Structure 1
Amino acid sequence: MLIFIPWDIVFTQQGIWGFNEDYFLGTKLFFLPIEEWLFFICIPYACVFTHYALIYYFPNLKLPMKTTKTLSYLFIVILTILAFSNYNKWYSFINFSLGALLITIAINNSIELLANFYITFLVMLIPFFIVNGVLTGSFIENEVVWYNNLENLNIRLFTIPIEDTVYAFSLILLNLFIMNLLETKKLPQ
């Protein structure tokens, strides 16, 4: 929440995205609907739980280290190119920059996490496309969350801006990375 809530507040105030008042209770905290605050508690918790449940039930469900490194470096290059070639589109620039930075930090500090996370993230994309699809206008008359397409690539996966997949990736990876750090600090040396 320390990164994503301030990001959300600034982007909402700047009109980079916003919320359809028809779908919210009306209670706001720092310009954000209370439901958005709850999102940042419930969704990361559910995703972290899913990640660890998949590891528990499928302990060998991970990429080989060589594949993990190759994918990581490829993602870093692609995200960096996308970020800097779209420096004037704030959602794209901030989102892709953070994604590249987090992968860089993770590959240098917790490659094992990435080896598992790339696979579990693919599984998490199933509910992501359903839930985020509804939030962005699939299967309903009006979207719950709207986006200013001047601030993103205006490429949609169904109704979802492509940046949202990287946003979800970064949100979940950051939570897992922090949990991983806390777990390793608890272990006796």
Structure 2
Amino acid sequence: MSLYFILLTASGAVPLLLSFDKRLQFYKQWKYVFPSILLVALVYIIFDVNFTNRGIWGFNPEYLSGIYLFSLPLEEILFFVVIPYASIFLHECVREYFPKLELPKSLNKVLLIALIVFSVLVAVLNTDKNYTVYISLKLAVVLLLALLLNSRIPRSFFITFIVILVPFLIVNGILTGSYIDGEVVWYNNSENLGLRIFTIPVEDFAYAFSMILYNLLLIEQIKKRVNK
């Protein structure tokens, strides 16, 4: 079993088992969660294939199973299902046990606008760095969507993301070279800002934030349509 697959199994096993917890009963949300995960995954995988083929990032075969789909390791495709599921589960757990833990509406709006402006500026000032531009604009779009939809989700997600960062730092840290020789995923630093927290490119934090927020917003919209 490859190291990447072991990380995915460890990340997904506990949330999956705890989905049947009597209090949370997260399995009842699967009809909303899985369609969202698959739709968002499709978009991210398309860009992942493109960026892999262009050498913006790549994968170390030493830590992979050797099975590839659309130029991507099987583990990388599973990443877009397992990690969002675990993150959404953790977000819902925090909300269940701390329902009042959210930002004031006014602060949330200011933070959304500030981050949109910041993300666009980062993209404009770094047009020669494909990964930076890609994720900055993707982050700006999802924040704008949250603002236009007048969604309450960011008010809690800004806080729950801090909790999500704990497993993120461990898993993504290993993937990018912490605690192991070499790295599972390598990056072409000429295509990003070259700034890292431990071994993790700063863009990866925006990548994770945007991917999970897209899912949460989509789940919200699916629920509204289904429950009309």
Superposed pair shares fold, TM > 0.5: yes
> Matched residues in 2 for 1:93 and 1:172: separation?
19
Match of 1:2 in 2: 42
Q: Which runs of 5+ in 2 are unaligned?
A: 1-40
Three-state SS of the structure 2 residue aligned to 1:39 is: helix
The Cα of 1:121 is off from its aligned counterpart by 0.7
Counterpart selection for 2:167 from 127, 135, 140? 127
Aligned pairs for 1:26-45 (under 5 A) are 26-45=66-85
Aligned pairs for 1:166-181 (under 5 A) are 166-181=206-221
Moved more, 15-24 or 103-112: 103-112
Instruction: Name the % identity.
Output: 46
Do the aligned partners of 1:68 and 1:111 also contact (CA within 8 Å) in 2? no
Aligned pairs for 1:1-189 (under 5 A) are 1-188=41-228
Offset from partner CA, 1:73-108 (integer Å, 9 cap, x none): 111111110011111111000100010111001111
> Matched residues in 1 for 2:208 and 2:149: separation?
21
TM-score normalised to structure 2 length? 0.81
Three-state SS of the structure 1 residue aligned to 2:100 is: coil
Could you list the structure 1 runs, at least 4 aligned residues long, displaced by more than 2 angstroms after superposition: none
Three-state SS of the structure 2 residue aligned to 1:93 is: helix
Q: Number of residues paired by the alignment? A: 188
Three-state SS of the structure 1 residue aligned to 2:42 is: coil
Paired AA for residue 63 in structure 1: L
Offset from partner CA, 1:128-165 (integer Å, 9 cap, x none): 11111111001111110000000000000110000000
Q: Which runs of 5+ in 1 are unaligned?
A: none
The Cα of 1:176 is off from its aligned counterpart by 0.7
> Matched residues in 1 for 2:224 and 2:160: separation?
21
